[in-house]
């Protein structure tokens, strides 16, 4: 290898490392965004679910036409939102996130080994490939759970309306 080629290889190595680190950071940011959104949806579902559950429970102990009418729709809404909150909880599941960069043990190995730049770069990229796969899998799992939770929230008014309509159909 000539002296002219070495700086080019070092520049290539820097470009590659910067690129894969940026991708790793983007994956971590996606996971964090999903977690934050799931927490916001979770808070909403728990708040509304508690209100619906309390209203539904109260309707069994009070003789009020409005409460009796809303009884099953509030119970169904509370149950539906509780299930949605469980999906939010799954989206926020505690998992190990692989952060960008390597630990000191990798760099000690790289600095103190007899390996050339190519071998160090290959070792770095091979390790990162597994870490990125793990982060992609985690992101897909959490995003899928959040997607279901959000769809359940969108369907909540329909569930509430159907649960309110069923008793009306049987009163005739």
Q: What pLDDT is attached to residue 1? A: 47
- As a whole number of angstroms, the longest Cα–Cα distance in the chain is 93
Residue 149, C-beta contacts closer than 8 angstroms, at least 6 positions apart: 38, 41, 42, 45, 84, 85, 87, 88, 91
Give this prediction's pTM: 0.80
Rounded to whole angstroms, the Cα distance separating 156 from 37 reads 18
Q: What pLDDT is attached to residue 156? A: 96
Rounded to whole angstroms, the Cα distance separating 25 from 124 reads 16
Q: Where are the domains of the chain?
A: 33-170
Report CA 65 to chain centroid distance, whole Å.
42
Rounded to whole angstroms, the Cα distance separating 77 from 172 reads 24
Predicted confidence pLDDT, tens digits, the chain (172 residues) = 455 544 456 677 778 888 888 888 999 999 999 999 999 999 999 999 999 999 999 888 888 887 778 889 999 999 999 999 999 999 997 778 887 788 888 888 888 877 777 788 888 888 888 889 999 999 999 999 999 999 999 999 999 999 988 877 877 5
Nearest to 27 by CA among 123, 121, 35, 16: 35
């Amino acid at each position: 290898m000539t002296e002219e080629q070495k700086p080019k290889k070092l520049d290539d190595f820097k470009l590659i490392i910067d690129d894969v680190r940026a991708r790793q950071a983007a994956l971590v940011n996606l996971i964090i965004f999903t977690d934050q959104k799931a927490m916001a949806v979770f808070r909403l579902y728990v708040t509304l679910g508690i209100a619906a559950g309390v209203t539904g429970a109260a309707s069994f102990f009070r003789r009020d036409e409005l409460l009796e009418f809303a009884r099953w729709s509030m119970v169904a809404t509370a149950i539906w939102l509780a299930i949605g909150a469980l999906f939010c909880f799954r989206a926020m599941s505690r998992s190990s996130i692989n952060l960008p960069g390597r630990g000191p043990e990798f760099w000690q190995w790289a600095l103190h080994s007899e390996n050339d730049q190519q071998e160090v770069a290959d070792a770095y990229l091979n390790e990162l490939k597994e870490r990125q796969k793990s982060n992609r899998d985690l992101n897909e799992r959490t995003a899928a759970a959040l997607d279901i939770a959000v769809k359940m929230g969108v369907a909540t008014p329909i569930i509430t309306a159907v649960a309110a309509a069923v008793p009306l159909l049987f009163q005739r």
